Amino acid sequence: MAEKIATREAYGSALAEFGYKYNIIVFDADLAEATKTIKFKKEHPDKFFDCGIAESNMLGVAAGAAAAGMIPFVSSFAMFAAGRAFEQIRNSVAYPQLNVKIGATHAGITVGEDGATHQCLEDLALMRTIPGMVVMNPADAVEARAAVEAAILHDGPVYMRFGRAAVPVIFDANNFKFEIGKGVILADGTDVTIAATGVMVEQALIARELLANEGISARVVNCCTIKPIDRELITKCAEETGCIVTAEEHSVIGGFGSAVTEVLCETCPVPVLRVGTEDVFGRSGKVPPLMELYGLTAQNIVDKAKRAVAMKK
């Protein structure tokens, strides 16, 4: 069985590692132990600034530091970064196109026991609407590390989404290439494309095996970058497999699935079915039963893939 590491762990480790290579500073809002920026703080104490429980000010401070030439990372839970500080991100960070990197952890339903107030299922939708914002949602620890370095090298605002729960490492760290804005075909297939992001990439790979048992050939595409979305690859997949299923640990309203449908209705209209949380809030619970309850399993992907294939005819 693959090693399991939460993407927030990889985020914290990457900050600590890249703190030696690049001139970054890190802000947190009293959640360093949870967001794992504590790892950066331990190795670079002079470049770490706790802002206390004041996310709005934290984003503004980061914007000012970026305006003065620094590369600031800011971290909190996705709910309080993308949610509470949305307007600071829009007006203080993105409008002047400042070089602020937002590392939002504890995104999605996999927050688990803390429940609905902390399970942000709307952040991709919120961040995606902001002009010039790069939005990334890494699937595992390897991709999380690569996304952090890509964010540092990118000039402009970036939103990165990380999870609380440990997830399998699915990529090979020794042979991993990453480019902002590029999706990757992880496994080929001809009948349907499963386009997945974040923790749902693992479920998509499992779904592909289940579909194979039923004689359906599924292609799996990993889209870490939600914005700019890989229009070319998504269009190519629609043309070649004739239908698409999207999978994300996020509301089906406004997130990755929406981004895919926006592309395809303009370039290659084919049946698209979306796996994600419906128009509902989360609730407390352990992660596996939550994923089942909210329809975020490989089986949910299989069911929608079969329907999508049937809709082609």
Minimum CB distance to other proteins smaller for 37 or for 119: 37
Chain-centre distance for alpha carbon 278:
18
Output the smallest distance, CB 166 to other proteins, in A: 33
Minimum CB distance to other proteins smaller for 64 or for 285: 64
Output the smallest distance, CB 57 to other proteins, in A: 4
Minimum CB distance to other proteins smaller for 75 or for 251: 75
Minimum CB distance to other proteins smaller for 84 or for 231: 84
Question: How far apart, in whole angstroms, are the C-alpha atoms of residue 68 and residue 158?
Answer: 18
* Pairing of the two strands 134-136 and 225-227: antiparallel
**In the beta sheet, which residues pair with residue 113?**
none
Minimum CB distance to other proteins smaller for 95 or for 114: 95
Output the smallest distance, CB 99 to other proteins, in A: 12
Output the smallest distance, CB 13 to other proteins, in A: 23
Helix (H, G, I), strand (E, B) or coil at 258: helix
Q: Which helix (H) or strand (E) is 49 found in, with range?
A: strand 48-50
Active site residues: 55
Q: What is the dihedral of CA 33, 36, 37, 42, to 10 degrees?
A: 70
Output the smallest distance, CB 69 to other proteins, in A: 7
Give the binding site for other proteins (CB under 8 A).
25, 47, 49, 51-52, 54, 56-57, 59-70, 72, 87-88, 91-92, 95-97
- Burial of 192-228, coded b for 16+ CB within 10 Å and e otherwise, reads bbbbbbbbbbbbbbebbeebeeeebebbbbbbbbbbe
**In the beta sheet, which residues pair with residue 161?**
104
Determine what percent of the chain falls in helix, strand and coil, rounding each to the nearest 5.
Answer: 45, 20, 30
Among left, alpha and beta (phi > 0; psi -120 to 50; other), residue 22 is beta
